[in-house]
Chain A
Amino acid sequence: MPEFEELLQEAAHRVQYVLRLYVTGATDRSTRAITNTRWICEHYLKGRYDLRVVDIYQQPLLAKTYQIIAAPTLVKSEPLPPKRLVGDFSDRERLVAGLGIPREREDGRRNT
């Protein structure tokens, strides 16, 4: 593997993810969204993510501030570009793609 690509991949692996997951209480859908997002973070972004779960029932003002319409909504503010995903993320592969995480796992094995 050429040095440049190696460096690039290494950099990609060091990128910090800032994620906010807005849910509405402890519904099944909320729970599923939380579980799925956590799973992705733990498996792909271990040690380099900042995920906070916000219950907009508790903090409705945040829903306004961050322009939340649907629930659950996952907002990625870093790395750029910012992205909004809505749903329960049952398809974890799609969530990985949606968040723009390189399709390599921490152990270097290709994700299948």
Chain B
Amino acid sequence: MPKVNSRLTMLEKVPTGINGLDEITGGGLPAGRPTLVCGAAGCGKSLFALEFLIRGATKHDQPGVLMTFEESVDDIRKNVASLGFDIDALIAQKRLIIDFVRIERGEIEEQGEYDLEGLFIRLAHSIALVGAKRVVLDTIEALFAGLSNQAILRSELRRLFGWLKQRGMTTIITGERAGDQLTRQGLEEFISDCVILLDHRVIGQISTRRLRVVKYRGSTHGTNEYPFLIDESGISILPVTSSGLEYEVSAERVSTGVGGLDEMLGGLGYYRGSTVLLSGTAGTGKTSMAAHLAQATCARGERCLFFSFEESASQILRNMRTIGIDLQPFVRKELLRIHSARPTVYGLEMHLARMHKLIGQFRPTVVIVDPVSNLRSAGTNEETATLFVRLVDFLRRNGILGFLVSLTSWAGTSETTGDSISSMVDTWLLLRDIELSGERNKVLYVRKSRGMNHSNQVREFHITSKGVKLVEAYLGPGGVLTGAARLAQETREVAEAERLKQEMERRELALTHRRKAMEAQIEALRAAFDAEAEELRRTAANGRDRLGQLEIDREAMARSRRVTERSKKNNHR
């Protein structure tokens, strides 16, 4: 039955376990197929190949065979010990086997027909011994130094790669770059599936390692040059130019650490996971602002990573203590980590790589870079711009609030220098010096802040012994009033208030007087009324007395009349 679907099936991939490589290649190297890793001497290809085996053995349960043509087992052990790989343990556990193929130049004399069956047998033996799924040949080009019959070598190599494919071995073959060719011996002609080129460049005395997937048949892959670094945990590749505008955004807000500033940003502060650019001229309190954010973050129990390119950690801690921000306890509690480095110690890529790594390890929710602008000295403008983009992209994808401090120059260009990155950021704060009436005052304003109702005010702020304090801004006829002008305005307002207060008091007093007068009047009226009432009462009483008297008189009169009538009667009898 014909296999109709075989062309449509996706190329199976094997994750290498090397940091970042699997992201670039969309899953790893082609499974069961050879991949060519090439580059000039010292580009890290042997290490790359070896890490592929070690990660396979430790992370993916895929034991591996290393056939090395240049370095003895001892050399390899020493080389990788500094990278934290213990190959002896892997060898003892039968997860890794190293076969050193020693070929001395000119030691072998060729007489007639031969093949490379010896290599095949050795490989087969090693593969069987550990049940290998991965094979590295580093670098098979050494064969060309030991043997001269090109025809035999080439056909045997072709047979070897076919043989490895047949056995389903995911293989890395290293090759040394020479001139325009990818490899000295044209190994690329044998390997059609995947070719990775490593490069080690020095620009402006700063070296950067880069990786590029030259070819990956049947698979999409990033075609850019990706920087990578080799450090104590092996190779890390930065898939930083990745497509992504697809990241989750948070509606949660976090405090800026500066009271008044939260109010300016809709009352709630920054969005979690957003990117904040703080630009300002020298000495406008950028680091202090950053320290406030660090403090607020750590106080919530979250981790904050502070990259400083100007000051050492102890310098920052000391300086911030003088403005009342004590970060030391957070450092002790492992909530705050300060990393200081001169911008010029590494190339930009290395800086970014290091940031990636540290962020990956520390898992902070807030990352402060103070200042990003200093990184310009480690690369060209264009490079720095792409670095910013990639850094911001990386932070966003990981939901980390990025606080980027940018130092701008004096000459009134404070709003343009952030251009390379301003379109990327969500919130852009500007710190400025305003020179007026012989003094310099610091002001802050929100240049932009996406997705929130932010203040349009220019606010003056002071750096006090208790941190940054925002003060009310005064708008005068000539613009914003700061410093002495603001003080004068404030005094005027205080006087006005005092005047109003006095006026009020005076009015109140007048009212009191009037009330008193009114009350007195009422009192007088009431007194008059009372007197009248009394008079009336008295008159009434007199009247009643008189009436009573009249009654008495009348009775007396009547009595006396009756007495006379009776005596009159008695006289008649």
Query: Which residues of A are at the interface with B, using a C-beta cutoff of 8 A?
Result: 22, 24, 29, 56-57, 60-61, 63-64, 67-73, 83-91, 94-95, 98
Q: Is B416 an interface residue (CB 8 A)?
A: no
The answer, among A69, A83, A87, A88, for a CB contact under 8 Å with B118, is: A69
- CB-CB under 8 A from A85, the residues of chain B are 108-111
The answer to whether B117 touches A71, judged by C-beta atoms less than 8 angstroms apart, is yes
The answer to whether B146 touches A94, judged by C-beta atoms less than 8 angstroms apart, is no
- CB-CB under 8 A from B103, the residues of chain A are 67, 69
Residue of B at shortest CB range from A70?
B114
The answer to whether A60 touches B125, judged by C-beta atoms less than 8 angstroms apart, is yes
Given contacts A60-B124, A60-B125, A69-B143, contact A22 B112 (CB under 8 A): no
Interface positions of B from 233 to 279, Cβ below 8 Å from A: none
The answer to whether A67 touches B102, judged by C-beta atoms less than 8 angstroms apart, is yes
Interface positions of B from 90 to 126, Cβ below 8 Å from A: 99, 101-103, 107-119, 121-122, 124-125
The answer to whether A69 touches B101, judged by C-beta atoms less than 8 angstroms apart, is yes
Q: How far is the CA of A104 from the CA of B534 in the complex (A)?
A: 177
Q: How far is the CA of A46 from the CA of B118 in the complex (A)?
A: 29
- CB-CB under 8 A from A83, the residues of chain B are 109
The answer to whether B113 touches A67, judged by C-beta atoms less than 8 angstroms apart, is no
- CB-CB under 8 A from A90, the residues of chain B are 111-113
Q: Is B147 an interface residue (CB 8 A)?
A: yes
The answer to whether A63 touches B111, judged by C-beta atoms less than 8 angstroms apart, is no
The answer, among A56, A72, A86, A94, for a CB contact under 8 Å with B121, is: A56
Residue of B at shortest CB range from A29?
B113
- CB-CB under 8 A from B109, the residues of chain A are 83-86, 98
- Which 5 residue pairs are nearest across A and B when measured between Cβ atoms? A87-B112, A87-B111, A60-B125, A68-B118, A71-B117
The answer to whether A69 touches B146, judged by C-beta atoms less than 8 angstroms apart, is yes
Residue of A at shortest CB range from B123?
A60
Given contacts A69-B143, A70-B147, contact A87 B114 (CB under 8 A): yes
The answer to whether A71 touches B118, judged by C-beta atoms less than 8 angstroms apart, is yes
How near does chain A come to B431, taking the closest CB pair, in angstroms? Answer: 69
- CB-CB under 8 A from A98, the residues of chain B are 109, 111
Residue of A at shortest CB range from B113?
A88
Total residue contacts A-B, CB cutoff 8 A = 89
The answer, among B112, B122, B147, for a CB contact under 8 Å with A63, is: B122
How near does chain A come to B464, taking the closest CB pair, in angstroms? Answer: 75
Given contacts A64-B99, A83-B109, A86-B110, contact A24 B125 (CB under 8 A): no
Name 17 extra pairs, CB < 8 A, besides A24-B115, A84-B107: A24-B118, A56-B121, A57-B121, A61-B125, A63-B118, A64-B99, A68-B118, A68-B121, A70-B116, A70-B118, A71-B116, A83-B109, A86-B147, A87-B114, A90-B111, A91-B111, A98-B111
- CB-CB under 8 A from A57, the residues of chain B are 121
- CB-CB under 8 A from A67, the residues of chain B are 101-103
How near does chain B come to A72, taking the closest CB pair, in angstroms? Answer: 6
The answer to whether A24 touches B117, judged by C-beta atoms less than 8 angstroms apart, is yes
- CB-CB under 8 A from B115, the residues of chain A are 24, 29, 70-71
- CB-CB under 8 A from B99, the residues of chain A are 64
Q: How far is the CA of A51 from the CA of B109 in the complex (A)?
A: 19
Q: How far is the CA of A63 from the CA of B111 in the complex (A)?
A: 20
How near does chain B come to A65, taking the closest CB pair, in angstroms? Answer: 10
Q: How far is the CA of A95 from the CA of B110 in the complex (A)?
A: 10
Residue of A at shortest CB range from B69?
A69
Q: How far is the CA of A68 from the CA of B113 in the complex (A)?
A: 16
The answer to whether B121 touches A70, judged by C-beta atoms less than 8 angstroms apart, is no
Given contacts A56-B121, A60-B122, A64-B99, contact A69 B116 (CB under 8 A): yes
How near does chain B come to A80, taking the closest CB pair, in angstroms? Answer: 14
- CB-CB under 8 A from B122, the residues of chain A are 60, 63-64, 68
Q: Which of B116, B118, B124, B125 has the most CB of A within 10 A?
A: B118
Q: Could you list some 7 contacts between A and B, CB below 8 A? A: A56-B121, A69-B103, A70-B118, A86-B110, A86-B114, A87-B112, A91-B111
- CB-CB under 8 A from B125, the residues of chain A are 60-61, 63-64
Q: How far is the CA of A69 from the CA of B121 in the complex (A)?
A: 9
- CB-CB under 8 A from A69, the residues of chain B are 101, 103, 116, 118-119, 143, 146-147
Q: How far is the CA of A67 from the CA of B111 in the complex (A)?
A: 18
- What mask results when residues 8 to 22 of chain B are scored 1 for a CB within 8 Å of chain A, else 0? 000000000000000
The answer to whether B111 touches A95, judged by C-beta atoms less than 8 angstroms apart, is yes
How near does chain A come to B426, taking the closest CB pair, in angstroms? Answer: 61
The answer to whether A56 touches B113, judged by C-beta atoms less than 8 angstroms apart, is no
How near does chain B come to A69, taking the closest CB pair, in angstroms? Answer: 4
Q: How far is the CA of A57 from the CA of B118 in the complex (A)?
A: 9
How near does chain B come to A88, taking the closest CB pair, in angstroms? Answer: 4
Q: How far is the CA of A69 from the CA of B114 in the complex (A)?
A: 10
Given contacts A61-B125, A64-B125, A69-B101, contact A91 B112 (CB under 8 A): yes
How near does chain B come to A32, taking the closest CB pair, in angstroms? Answer: 8
- CB-CB under 8 A from B113, the residues of chain A are 29, 87-88, 90
How near does chain B come to A96, taking the closest CB pair, in angstroms? Answer: 11
Residue of A at shortest CB range from B152?
A70
Q: How far is the CA of A29 from the CA of B115 in the complex (A)?
A: 9
Q: How far is the CA of A22 from the CA of B121 in the complex (A)?
A: 12
Given contacts A60-B121, A69-B101, contact A88 B108 (CB under 8 A): no
Q: How far is the CA of A87 from the CA of B114 in the complex (A)?
A: 5
How near does chain B come to A22, taking the closest CB pair, in angstroms? Answer: 7
Q: How far is the CA of A86 from the CA of B113 in the complex (A)?
A: 8
The answer to whether B124 touches A70, judged by C-beta atoms less than 8 angstroms apart, is no
Q: How far is the CA of A94 from the CA of B101 in the complex (A)?
A: 27
